[in-house]
Amino acid sequence: MTQTTKEARPEPRAQGRTPLRAPKTVSGRGVRRDADDDLGGRTDAGRGAPAHTIEPLRPERGRDGAGAAGEEPAATVAPPGLKGLVVADTRVGAVRGAEGFYHYRGQDAAALAEAEPFEAVAHLLLEGRMPKTAEERDRFGAALGAARARAFGRLGATRTLRGSLAEVLDDVPTLDQTPALRRAAVLEAVGALPVLVAALHRRAVGRPPVAPDPALGHAEDFLRMVHGRPPSAAQAEALGTYLALTLDHGMNASTFTVRVITSTGASVSAAMLGGLAALSGPLHGGAPGRVLEMLEAIGGPEDAPAWAEARLAEGAKLMGFGHAVYRAEDPRSRTLARVARRFEDPLVARAAAIEEALLATLRAHKPGAAIVTNVEYWAGVVLHLSGLPRALFTPTFAVSRAFGWGAHLLEEAERGKILRPSARYVGSA
């Protein structure tokens, strides 16, 4: 087995920001008490005013950490959406958007996904290193297969993914578990998700669930459970690459949600359910299916510029373009485009030509802006070519991202400190 590595580069330090900390006091009409004190019913002895009458902090206070003379410094005010704010130290991985690069534990994630079996890359996320031998990789794959089998044996009648996951997993608080027990619980969760996604899909179309085959790879077995027949080698390989590419990607919304829940000492089950809930929002993980709808609406490449101009004039976004972090090419999109070209399907050439036309239109519409094709564009094509129905695109993303959630969960549980930021009161509406 070839191990593809990239020398780890130190992550840049956040510049010009005071570390996030909770304010010690609340100020208002001469009252200064701990922020969590119950002020209801108390009075300011100096003025007789109700102590619960709190004046809002002025918006400018706290931005530079300075308060009025004699007061303690106010807390740092986070930017909208917490953009650029460092909220955790991690060894799991990071994204360097300006370079078009992301890594898993210091190793080039896109290169690993293209060169290594899925199980080897998943081992890196959960175990902290690449497997040393093929036998070690296969033992990890066998453990995943056994977890899939156990999940199938606990299938209930619930017809939603979050409800089904709650049924098959134990609800033991991570605070009460050893690191080994937490890791075992994470393995149960990541093993359960493909089983549940496939079973719920088959029930929805009137077919019985298919039992997993623990001897198969994670991606191959997932496709087999969805369709009730073995996938082609090309389909299994393509899906395996997609899953490996999307295991983790920095402190995204669902990963942050998982870490917040874990910080309370909640169970692996609760944290994973929180991740799924965050992923249910259309702004996070829901675009691949919409890309295919867009390609169908456009028709041929020659129709793309006029179609895009009309959409942009309406203020609409073009699915599969732009990213909150990347200012250079998204390496996941580049890798998936190569994976798609392994299939002899007319959709691939049409998608490539439309991509070029849409990029040209977007760059003309916003001169000087960093316009890149994001992972969703080619993910939609690859998932379609792998044989998955569009309704399973986002659940399939969860099958992958759960490994990243698990790695962050284990790290957060070891940290053992609850995430408890503050809010700045700005007055009633």
Which residues are catalytic, by number?
A: 323, 376
- Among residues 387, 388, 376, 323, which one has the least CA distance to residue 351? 376
Tokens representing 290 are 């919409």
- Among residues 212, 194, 214, 210, which one has the least CA distance to residue 202? 210
- Among residues 198, 204, 361, 393, which one has the least CA distance to residue 292? 393
- Among residues 99, 257, 262, which one has the least CA distance to residue 173? 262
Query: What does the buried/exposed string (b/e) look like for 214-249 if buried means 16 or more CB atoms within 10 Å of the residue's CB?
Result: bebbbbbbbbbbbbeeebeeebbbbbbbbbbbbbbb
174 backbone dihedrals φ, ψ, rounded to 5°: -65, -25
Three-class secondary structure assignment of 15-67: CCCCCCCCCCEEEECCEEEECCCCCCCCECCCCCCECCCCCCCCCCCCCCCCC
DSSP per residue over 393-426, as a string? HHHHHHHHHHHHHHHHHHHHHHH-----------
- Among residues 311, 424, 403, which one has the least CA distance to residue 362? 311
C-alpha to C-alpha distance for 234 and 104, rounded to whole angstroms: 25
Tell me how far CA of residue 385 lies from CA of 283, 342, 380, 393, in angstroms: 24, 10, 9, 12
CB-based burial label for 407 (10 Å; 0-12, 13-18, 19+): buried
C-alpha to C-alpha distance for 186 and 131, rounded to whole angstroms: 18
Element (H, E) at 95: strand 93-96
